[in-house]
Amino acid sequence: MEVLLIHNYSKDALTVAKQALFGKRTPEIDKKTHANIQLWELYIDLENNLGTFETQRTAYQRMLDLKVITPFVLLNYA
């Protein structure tokens, strides 16, 4: 994803982040990706810059539901 961002393909990077977090995978991989805070923070940052208010709210709510939200991200959500 970072390579896509470096080359100004930000919408593609957002798509890759969504696929990494919400795509169909095995439960083992699901557990690892859902717990990856760096991936979530990158996804949230991309949503804040490229997404709509609804997609941002949904992303933050998903982090809350999975209990992977950090205090810093929670303050940004507030």
DSSP 32-77: HHHT-HHHHHHHHHHHHHHS-HHHHHHHHHHHHHHT---HHHHHHH
| CB burial string 29-55: b at 16+ within 10 A, e below | eeeeebeeeebbbbbbebbeeebeeee
Q: Please report, for the chain, the start and end positions of each structural domain, with discontinuous segments joined by +.
A: 2-77
- Provide mean pLDDT across the span 7-20: 90
The pLDDT tens digits for 24-44 are: 777 777 777 778 888 999 999
Percent of the chain with pLDDT over 90: 40
